[in-house]
Amino acid sequence: MKIIIGNDHGAVELKKKIINHLTSKGFECVNIGVDTEDSVDYPDIAEKACAEYLKGDYDYGILCCGTGIGISISANKVEGIRCALPQDSYAAEMTKKHNNPNFIAFGGRIEYKDNIEDMLNAFFDNNFEAGRHQNRIDKMMALEKR
């Protein structure tokens, strides 16, 4: 699986942890984020990662900022992107099964009750259930056209 990953200065260490975990599972991670804590604007990172993803060579994208909130909101402004912000392993599993996001986001300054590796596993080890959920996704994505 090929993943695009972007982060701002608030999630440098988290991004490294995510890349280490996913590459240990055989994923290819393309890092377009920053590797220092020099301030950058998360909307710029989100836009760059989403544009790269939409070129079509990636399975999923991961975005990280201090809380995950700003970068996920920014990503969700890009047509064709559904970015989820799971708060634990259960939410990571359920968003994959029901919302089928093409991006997930995390916060580098958040203390999650579950470790990031377990949350990533919960997301990537599950499949979209389709059925009634596809109808809901179609409605979500139609909102972009209004």
Q: Determine the pLDDT at residue 146.
A: 82
- Measured CA to CA, the distance from residue 69 to residue 83 in angstroms comes to 10
Residue 32 clears pLDDT 90, i.e. is over it: yes
Catalytic residue set? 65, 98
**Mean pLDDT (whole number) for 103-112:** 98
Q: For residue 124, with 0-12 CB atoms within 10 Å meaning exposed, 13-18 middle and 19 or more buried, which class applies?
A: buried
**Number of domains the chain is built from:** 1
- Whole-prediction pTM: 0.96
Give the domain range for residue 60. Answer: 2-145
Residue 37 clears pLDDT 90, i.e. is over it: yes
The residue that leads in pLDDT, 106 or 144, is: 106
- Phi (first) and psi of residue 17, to 5 degrees: -65, -45
Structure confidence at residue 8 as a pLDDT band (50, 70, 90)? very high
Residue 144 clears pLDDT 90, i.e. is over it: no
Residue 2 clears pLDDT 90, i.e. is over it: yes
CATH code, domain carrying 46: 3.40.1400.10
Q: Determine the pLDDT at residue 107.
A: 98
- Do the Cβ atoms of 32 and 89 come closer than 8 Å? no
